[in-house]
Amino acid sequence: MSTEIASAEAYDAWVRANPRGICHFWASWCEPCAAMDVLLDTLRQRHPDVATARCDAEAVEEVSARENVSAVPFFVFVRDGKRVDAVEGADAAAVTNKTRQYFPASVSAPAPAVTVAPASGEALRARLKSLIESQPVVLFMKGHPDEPKCGFSRRVVDALSAAGVKFGSFNILADEDVRQGLKEYSNWPTYPQLYVDGEFVGGCDIVLEMAEAGELTDACAAGDGKVKNAINERIKGMLTAQDVLLFMKGTRSAPRCGFSAKVVKALDDVGVEYATFDILSDEPIRQGLKEYSNWPTYPQLYYKSELIGGCDIILELAQAGELAGELGAA
Catalytic residues: 30, 33
Tell which residue, 122, 278, 136, has the closest CA to residue 196.
136
Distance, in Å, from the CA atom of 150 to the CA atom of 143, rounded to the nearest integer, reads 8
Distance, in Å, from the CA atom of 252 to the CA atom of 265, rounded to the nearest integer, reads 9
Residues 328, 243: contact at Cβ < 8 Å?
yes
The angle at the Cα of 23, spanning 22 to 29, to the nearest 5 degrees, equals 140
The strands making up 300-303's β-sheet, listed across from edge to edge, are 275-278, 244-248, 300-303, 306-309
Distance, in Å, from the CA atom of 188 to the CA atom of 84, rounded to the nearest integer, reads 36
